[in-house]
Structure 1
């Protein structure tokens, strides 16, 4: 295949294309939210294959249609998640051998390598969802799977810290960090990666009945929670200072909303920890406390969504990098905020409003709020389909040069 017919992603590869895998994995989670909150699963914190089949057998046409769509969505986007992950891992090998890799490692962009452990952690989370939904009897062996899952997440976390340590060792030990080129929230990517590892590490706390497993999950996930929080706070301050001086870097503008999926992941992590504390260690929180926590998270997310969308419109990002002739791997970062808001709205509604008795489950208000979450989800489905065609489809016509 000639260079004229190579997909845009292959012509100008960047580790940020791991976000294509991440976005598909996030959409897998959004379809699982339908099953999580709309399918009964008595005695278990999550629905499994047997619960889903029972609901399909006894439910009406609406329930059956929802289950078919949810399972189809999980299957399709988990496949795209793994497909994009494998594609990136293959192309990353050529990228690290390329002539420009040394310059890449000597710049602020080195932290883009954190997109790899971020995508790997998302893939493990997605695989667990696919197993719950499609594998009969999986729940009976989960106590054996939880330690293996924590080992996998520890390995991914170690990889993430190696990349982060190499970057910090260089810029702190030798200097060279370009504050003028830090005019975005791109340096929050390491925090996002560690948070994704942490939320996977917290899953056994919410699902295991073994106190040792729950305790290990609580301790290890807390480490990643705090690490992600510290790095995110530092990156926030540094990024705002540079943006006030230089203005936002146009191609990195989608990172202004990276705090939205970051907070969703950390919010789910804390919910999982609370559940483990409640079921295993008799630490009881109230529905009101959960509602307030989720409302605070959603409020911050709403503020950053408005802020980010305003800036993107002001600099013409959509017309340049999404619908225009310039291509940018960073466009995939637009998927994460929509997915994060959709997932958080489901939790805010079900674990907050419904649990506190403010909204009746399956009432008019319930479906109105759920409709907003589903609307965001479907918009991100359309965006992923569009971006995949734009970046990964071979084009017989010459492509415009991507932005630097």
Structure 2
């Protein structure tokens, strides 16, 4: 009997939700261009009217930037939603299989939190699409914020249900394999709760209604603390196992999951601080914002160095990016690059520029921004490369099952 060629994605894993997540993150990196490079007076974020005004009255370079940014947002938003739908269909079918039943008795059960993580990202992407492409959206935005709160709360409740199923099993029945926990995969749930939190923080920053802003502040704080507690515990458990057993080569990309987590928590904190300043008399201070962003960025760099050291020593790229082995966990490499690029934009614009340390659009500004753009460009290449490997023409090699 002849062997039937397969694609790696034919061997389903919930980690493929990270493919949707990465595409959504890249859409946000293009939105960073519009947010920081064109005027949007009276608003925290640019909307269609601001973009149209900048395009009509701006120089050729500004027009070119807007075209590229809007094209990038459109392409990667489409890819985000397409991969989300594909994952939801495959996940639904997979939950009815014996493979899922076995999966649900392992450490990897917590990977199902990639589903609400991707859902929360896609809701954020839909808001970006609305701001960039829908005229007049800002005039009705106050009616959309309650809907956004409901959507994110529903996703958050679903995330708690999934995580509760995992914790309930391991804390009552046991069976958690500490030796196999030699990675940071258990931080994924923290990432999911943080993504819900940053969505809930949007009304805190953008709404002109104090009650709505306050509700966003309280709810986003709950998810921020939930995320932080899970991340700290999971990191300690993972480090302890890695010290004893070494890092798992296939799941080594999870070692950098702290990078996108900090980016999301950093944006959440910025949104909260802005809401506090607008409605509750807590003045935003540029120096404090600079220090906060510098702290987040410093830890990002440290974890990039830490993860990079392990990935290089284990020859991860040679094996899983360019070799015969494939792993859906490779998509976890996209999130750190995206998270670093986004936080770098905020550090430069909301940190250094607002504090008066560098001039906006000066030589120093573009030198630092180039670092964010390089990271963004590298992640675009990585997403396209991984999509070809995992979703492209069928190959005879089977995907390495996720641990």
- Shorter-chain-normalised TM-score: which range? over 0.9
Structure 1 residue aligned with 2:396: 398
Q: C-alpha offsets along residues 258-287 of structure 1, whole Å, 9 cap, x if unaligned? A: 000000000000000000000111111311
Matches of 1:333 and 1:376, distance apart in 2: 15
Q: Contact 2:6 / 2:398 at 8 angstroms: preserved in 1?
A: no
Matches of 2:97 and 2:387, distance apart in 1: 24
Matches of 1:150 and 1:401, distance apart in 2: 38
* Deviation of the 1:120 alpha carbon: 0.2
Matches of 2:5 and 2:122, distance apart in 1: 29
Matches of 1:8 and 1:238, distance apart in 2: 30
* Deviation of the 1:163 alpha carbon: 0.5
Matches of 2:122 and 2:399, distance apart in 1: 31
Normalised by the length of structure 1, the TM-score is 0.98
Q: Contact 1:24 / 1:81 at 8 angstroms: preserved in 2?
A: yes
What residue ranges of structure 2 are gaps of 5+ in the alignment? Answer: none
Matches of 1:5 and 1:248, distance apart in 2: 31
Matches of 1:3 and 1:83, distance apart in 2: 30
Secondary structure of 1:282's partner?
Answer: coil
Structure 1 residue aligned with 2:179: 180
Matches of 1:297 and 1:276, distance apart in 2: 20
What are the residue-to-residue correspondences of 1:48-67 with 2, within 5 Å? 48-67=47-66
Matches of 1:172 and 1:295, distance apart in 2: 37
Higher mean Cα deviation, 99-108 or 341-350?
A: 99-108
* Deviation of the 1:140 alpha carbon: 0.5
* Deviation of the 1:5 alpha carbon: 4.5
Matches of 1:109 and 1:75, distance apart in 2: 33
Secondary structure of 2:208's partner?
Answer: coil
What are the residue-to-residue correspondences of 1:2-401 with 2, within 5 Å? 4-10=4-10, 12-395=11-394, 397-401=395-399
Secondary structure of 2:135's partner?
Answer: coil
Secondary structure of 1:180's partner?
Answer: coil
Secondary structure of 2:325's partner?
Answer: coil
Higher mean Cα deviation, 32-41 or 316-325?
A: 316-325
Matches of 1:37 and 1:311, distance apart in 2: 34
Q: C-alpha offsets along residues 49-81 of structure 1, whole Å, 9 cap, x if unaligned? A: 000000000000100000000000000000000
Q: C-alpha offsets along residues 12-51 of structure 1, whole Å, 9 cap, x if unaligned? A: 1100000000000000100000000001000000000000
* Deviation of the 1:6 alpha carbon: 4.0
* Deviation of the 1:399 alpha carbon: 2.1
* Deviation of the 1:7 alpha carbon: 2.5
Matches of 2:141 and 2:7, distance apart in 1: 41
Q: What is the number of residues matched between the two proteins?
A: 401
* Deviation of the 1:94 alpha carbon: 1.8
Normalised by the length of structure 2, the TM-score is 0.98
- CA RMSD between the two structures: 1.1
* Deviation of the 1:150 alpha carbon: 0.5
* Deviation of the 1:4 alpha carbon: 3.1
Q: Contact 2:344 / 2:372 at 8 angstroms: preserved in 1?
A: yes
Secondary structure of 2:17's partner?
Answer: helix
Matches of 2:354 and 2:59, distance apart in 1: 25
Matches of 1:401 and 1:84, distance apart in 2: 18
Runs of 4+ with >4 A deviation? none
Q: C-alpha offsets along residues 137-193 of structure 1, whole Å, 9 cap, x if unaligned? A: 000000000000000000000000001001111111111111011000000000000
Q: Contact 2:327 / 2:400 at 8 angstroms: preserved in 1?
A: yes
CA 1:401–1:120: 2 relative to 1, 3 Å = closer
Q: Contact 2:327 / 2:399 at 8 angstroms: preserved in 1?
A: no
Matches of 2:334 and 2:167, distance apart in 1: 28
Secondary structure of 2:282's partner?
Answer: coil
